[in-house]
Chain A
Amino acid sequence: MSGDHIHAEPTNFFRKHVFSVDHKVIAKQFLWFGLIWLGIGGLMAMIIRWQLANPGDPVPVIGSFLFPATDGVVDPATYNTLFTMHGTIMIFLGLTPLLIGCVGNWAIPLMIGARDMIFPTLNMLSFWSVFLGGAVGLYSLFVPMGASEAGWTGYPTLSTTVNGLGSGETLWAIAVFLIGASSIMGGINYLTTIIRLRAPGMSWGRLPLTIWGIFFTSILNVLFIPVIGSAMLLLIMDRVFGTTFYVPTSVMQGAGGGDPILYQHLFWIFGHPEVYILILPAWGIIGDLLSFFARKPAFGYRIQIAAMFAVTVMSAVVYGHHMFTTGISAMLGESFMLLTMIISVPAEILFFNWLHTLWKGNIRFTTPMLFSIGVIFVFGLGGLTGIYLATIGTDIFLHDTYFVVGHFHLTMAASALFAAFAGIYFWFPKMFGRMMNETLGKAHFWLTVIPLTTVFCLMFVMGYAGMPRRYYDHTSSEYLAALQHMNTAATHAAFILGAAQLIFVFNFLKSRWFGRPATDNPWEVGTLDWATPTPVPHYNFKVIPTVHTGPHEFSHPALGEDRDWISMTEPLPGAESDGPDLGGGAVPTPAS
């Protein structure tokens, strides 16, 4: 293996903290970036909830500052902007940077025993590309006529010029394109690094599940982000250069010839894998963490990998379930229904392996463990409610109602968010050399999981009662006004949920600078990231370690009574030699 990715420690401030090529610094950049956007997107959610519970009332406290033109009232166009940007921000600028950008960058080199990503410059470019995408998205909020109002799905012909949305819509498409470019760069880098830079002895069968999850996600990123990129390019062409890829003749009077349904196919060929792009790293992380804190090997390690692989392969052939009411043919509809049902099987196999990992463990209920178990809970609720939406007989009624909103928030939003929290609480000590406060962490968990479940379960009832989503004011219809009490209740729960995140912000910031100093391996786990000193030195490993055992050899009988874990760098006591000399430490430490 070449040492091209190894670079000297920078001495100048900009190269060290801003335009850094060090994966650890980039991981932290993604972390701060993701958290800030999560805050902005979360605030938007709070304003959306306020409007739904109190339609047309001025938003208290921040309203007159944010919407001075209307004395703090959210007008219908602003409301559409809010839910559009809330979705776009949470998915592309909040969760993706946290789960893939931060965890991927932090965990891959450290967990596989490498000194950095294989393409450090590409890695830096990946961050600055998403940063630029975020900047364009932020700027779009301030252009005349405001940011995109066409929903995070941006369906034409609402999103094409015929309807007169301002340049915000074009900027939205450009932002998504830039963020996509970042994900592709990240994906290529992650795949190559995992394939090429594993430490001696780190066979595929010893890779931590986190790395497997990110590996499969990267495959999906590299395959399907180009599809959304193309869809966005065509949309930009339609809006800026007057092409009509998505605009039919009847709308353009004479010109046209395009088809808005084409966009929906392109969008969902990407859009459904996107759900798995976010959830696969989450599955990987909790596959590891459940084992780490149950002090038991991950049950069915290979079966878990196989299930994740099956989901990866199938992720692109189920997308049609987003389009059951568009008029797709009965044959296509039924095929997509069947395929969607089948993809539930590998997901459910994962569930039983996780539950089996907990069974007869010696469970340490730390904050990362609580959030990992939280993923099983919320993903269970979200995944099972997917059956209603996969089944066309129920989907026809439930499509585009709050049932869908509840479902995807539990699956891709809450599960991914919980896994991101689990990851942050787990790697924080290694990242910043300090422990996060456990009491505050547990309070954060319980004050998150209870209101969150309340909000989205209420949305299931609202959807079952027939309440369409993306409505500015449900009380304008007599049929929906009778459901308004649930909107009010959901808003109260959502405000508790929002307030609980302040506990996390406080804990994160306080622990960052004033937390209890962390030891090298506070969680007592064996993966290579915890075999490094805290803080992690510039080159991660003085000598590239040789791996002798798997990542989850907890409570092995050979370890005796004194400890229940073993580092991957140690052979099991009394074990035969695990093969020929693997040549650990062969890569020299570069001069710094």
Chain B
Amino acid sequence: MRRLFHHLAGAGTRLWSTAFGVAALAALAEAQGGKRWGPTEAASDYGYRFYDLFWLITILCSVSFAIVCILILIPALRDRARPGHKAKFDHGASLKDKRVTTVVSASVFLVLDAWVLVIAMTDLREAWWNIPDEEEPGVYQVEVLAQQWAWSFRHQGADGEFGTADDIIQINELTVPTDTSVSFQMTSKDVIHSLFLPEMRTKRDANPGAINEMWFKAIRSGEFTILCAELCGFAHYQMHGKLHVLEGDQFESWHEDASRLGIAAFDTEDEEAQWAWKWE
């Protein structure tokens, strides 16, 4: 039932937004010569859910706000103070009137809220918070260490373990495969940061002293954006990086090369570099 609800809403909003949002914004962008008025196309498998929900809420809110504006405009135009005109006295005149106003408006809003809520719950359970189990085969794992002002990403080498000599460490660059669930564990060395991948439509805080989890599955290859979304000091705005999503084969060869380079660069004396942890 919930799924049906979700699909119906999804189909409905996609229809609307294509006609309404994208077309208008794309036309605007065209006229503006490449200036952007919205996010670039989603690159994760759950990215469409943000889009659907955003435009569903936009439609519901636009209708509600239009009603509010009309209900301001009508009396503003019709009931202006003028000689000989009197206000309608309705004080205590009709308790029924008040009850109707309250009950009708409240139930309309409750239905609207419930509609959005049900879809959001489904989305969370099926997508954002459906973080793959680390035991699950085929999940690609990445450890993230944030610090002022850089992102460090750690990949397992061929041994399938973190904290060993063949680990790959990338700074402000992250390379992941397409069509694979990529699972992140993240923490921070100093202050709170937030890993924001706009094209993947996801974001999670990296807190010092705790490990947070996040995941996505990229559906197309390309070069994407890494941003920091939580104020972390004066160079906060420069704490960005590149997310490279590679097709299966390309990724395999990248991984092999990088792992070899990782072994060559491994230095047991460098305590700063030994920041891996065991997943549990």
Contacts and interface: CB of A to CB of B under 8 A. Distances in A.
Interface in A445-480: 461, 464-466, 468, 470-474, 476-480
Given A295-B81, A393-B120, A400-B194, A362 B87 contact: yes
Contacts of A151: 231
B198 A397 contact: yes
Interface in B110-154: 110, 113-114, 116-117, 119-121, 123-125, 127-129, 148
Interface residues of B, number: 90
A411 interface: no
Given A352-B102, A363-B80, A477 B240 contact: yes
A80 B234 contact: yes
A255 interface: no
Interface in A539-580: 550, 552-557, 564
Contacts of A376: 68, 72
Interface stretch (A93-101, A342-350, A425-433): A342-350
Nearest to B227: A468
B85 A362 contact: yes
A342 B113 contact: yes
Contact of B207 (A76, A261, A342, A550): A261
Contact of A260 (B38, B50, B208): B208
A278 interface: no
A303 B102 contact: yes
B204 A476 contact: no
Nearest to A470: B231
A381 B208 CA distance: 36
Contacts of A333: 124, 129
B90 interface: yes
Interface stretch (A114-122, A155-163, A226-234): A155-163
B61 A384 contact: yes
Given A155-B231, A251-B190, A334 B81 contact: no
A361 interface: yes
Interface residues of A, number: 102
A384 B65 contact: yes
B209 interface: yes
B38 A359 contact: no
Given A250-B187, A380-B68, A396-B128, A341 B75 contact: no
B225 A393 contact: no
A326 interface: yes
Contact of B88 (A261, A296, A345): A296
Contacts of B240: 476-477, 479
A351 interface: yes
Interface string A150-186: 1100011110001100000000000000000000000
Nearest to B70: A355
Interface string B69-103: 10110111001111001111111100000100110
B68 A351 contact: yes
B89 to A, nearest CB: 5
A354 B157 CA distance: 64
Interface string B156-193: 00000000000000000000000000000001011110
Contacts of A503: none
B88 A360 contact: yes
Contact of A473 (B109, B196, B237): B237
Contacts of B35: 482-483, 485
B49 A325 contact: no
Contacts, number: 295
B218 interface: no
Given A157-B208, A344-B109, A338 B117 contact: yes
A203 interface: no
A479 B123 CA distance: 26
Contacts of A325: 194, 203-205, 229
A251 B25 CA distance: 45
B7 interface: no
Contacts of A483: 35-36
Nearest to A330: B129
A377 interface: yes
Contacts of A401: 229
Contacts of A76: 234-235, 237
A215 B204 CA distance: 39
Contacts of A479: 40, 198, 225, 227, 240
B204 A555 contact: no
B106 A349 contact: yes
B32 interface: yes
Contacts of B207: 260-261, 326-327
Interface string B249-261: 0000000000000
A248 interface: yes
B245 interface: no
Contacts of A363: 75-76, 79-81
A586 interface: no
A308 B203 CA distance: 34
A496 to B, nearest CB: 21
Contacts of A9: none
A550 B92 CA distance: 12
A83 to B, nearest CB: 9
Contact of A387 (B50, B61, B88, B125): B61
B22 to A, nearest CB: 12
19 contacts: A163-B191, A248-B210, A294-B75, A299-B90, A326-B207, A326-B212, A345-B106, A358-B79, A363-B76, A387-B60, A392-B128, A400-B194, A464-B39, A466-B225, A479-B198, A482-B34, A554-B89, A556-B91, A564-B87
Q: Which 3 A-B pairs have the closest CB atoms?
A: A248-B209, A297-B91, A466-B198
